[in-house]
Amino acid sequence: MSDSPAAIHPRAFRLYYALAVIAAGAFFVLATPTAGPPQIVALGVVLVLMVVSEARPVPLPSGGYATGSAVLDLASIIILGPVWAAWVDLASTVIVQGILLRRPLVRVLHNVAIFALTSFAAGYAFLAAGGQVGALVFPRHLMALLVCGGVYFLFNSAFVSIVLGLTVGPGPWRIWQRNFLQGILHHLSFVALGTLVAVVYFSAGPWGLVLVGIPFLVARHSFGVYMEIRADLKDFVRALSEVLEEVDPYTRHHSHRVAQYAVLLARGMRLSEREVEEIEYAALVHDLGKIGPQHQHILQKPGSLSHEEQRTLRAHPAAGAEIVARVRALRRSAEIVRTHHERPDGQGYPLGLRAEDVPVGARILNVSDAFDAMTSDRPYRRALSVGAALEELRRGAGSQFDRAVVECLLRLHAAGQFPLIPSPTSEDLQLLRLKPREAQG
């Protein structure tokens, strides 16, 4: 369910938009005359529940939103048939998005189209698999229900992922992974609940729909809480990264840049979105172990470090991992933090792991960290040029840096897909360091 206003692939988006709207309009025109008379009471009750459900949409992690209306859509397909289910979708979308939320007409029309097409596809799949509108017999109609629910989920998730991939990126498949794959059990549970709604209707009549309204709204609320927890986790990680500014403002800016580089490399290496997310979280807090006061002097020292200072600095990956691992949802990211200074030749720290023993996320983070460090001002030197940094990565590939990750970075850079993220100059960072002291004085 989409709320994206603009397009990063405008021509492809216009083509997609036109095809979706034309196809939905054609189905309404051709299918409505064959639908038969509607069941007015049932249609009205479903419409009211649909409006209540859609009035407070749940944001999805990569954009768009969900409402839990799949439960009512699946039930109305079984009770009313695909055509009247599509008409309910049209009416509820116009009421909620067009009138109550006052969204632009282009969005309302798009969402009407994809909701209707999803109901048409799932409804006709239900009939083709042996289902029957107005009746539900077990186990005879079980396969038809599974087909209906599967088609509904695939069409709905595909439409949302396509439009977000064309408007905000990074691509439909990755949008689908982040928005739907990680919460697939929640989405598929709506199939069972939709079936339950239909069973109650056939047992108790139209007013039975009112009885299932409470468990339906509770299920929808639970789904919303799940999505909020996922969003809160990312906000929490970002807040942790901001704590680093208490030690040195350079560190926070550095962590955000490293996170962006790491995401580009992880996707360039075709890792799943779950792995991309774990690497992003790890990158944001990979220097959290430097928060201790013993690092204050080391981070700002312009000259070379003593052996004792080097030993202190080398303890930061393990220290940071211990902090991050206290959050259960971040334990995979904690292992990336712990090992992001390991090297293929076994000369890294803190464990001295070699090559494939180092998690792929840590290998990506190691290269991202080094690239940003080389292309940013440090207390002891000015930033290197991109060309010089790339040459350093080439020289260290296979020994200091993972060869496959370096090759991915070089490939992305050559294709113009790995831009340099601007970093503050030494003068800018000095001003940032002075501000807290001025505030205290």
Residues 37 and 171 in one domain: yes
Per DSSP, helices labelled H in 6-137 are 10-31, 40-54, 70-80, 82-93, 105-128
Q: 0.85 exceeded by the pTM?
A: no
Residues 105 and 176 in one domain: yes
DSSP 357: G
Residue 27: inside a domain, yes or no?
Answer: yes
pLDDT at 343 over 90: yes
- Domain stops at, among 168, 199, 232: 232
In the predicted model, what is the mean pLDDT of the chain?
Answer: 84
DSSP code per residue over 285-312:
TTTGGGGSTHHHHHHH--SPPPHHHHHH
Q: Could you tell me the residue range of the domain that residue 372 belongs to?
A: 247-434
DSSP code per residue over 182-222:
TTHHHHHHHHHHHHHHHHHHHHH-TTHHHHTHHHHHHHHHH
- What pLDDT sits at residue 80? 92
Residue 37: inside a domain, yes or no?
Answer: yes
- Domain stops at, among 181, 205, 232: 232
CATH of the domain at 58: 1.10.1760
- What pLDDT sits at residue 441? 43
Find the angle CA(138)-CA(141)-CA(147) to the nearest 5 degrees: 135
Structure tokens at 278: 């774990």
User: If DSSP states are collapsed to H, E and C, what string results for 214-257?
Assistant: HHHHHHHHHHHHHHHHHHHHHHHHHHHHHHHHHCCHHHHHHHHH
Average pLDDT on 324-340 reads 93
Which band of pLDDT confidence, cut at 50, 70 and 90, is reported for residue 380?
low
Within 10 Å of residue 313's Cβ, how many Cβ atoms?
18
More confident residue, 393 or 209: 393
Number of domains in the chain: 2
146-160 pLDDT tens trace: 899 889 999 989 998
Residue 66: beta bridge partners? 58
- What pLDDT sits at residue 54? 79
Please tell me the distance from the alpha carbon of residue 337 to that of residue 211, in angstroms, as a whole number.
Answer: 50
Find the angle CA(401)-CA(405)-CA(410) to the nearest 5 degrees: 105
Length of the chain: 441
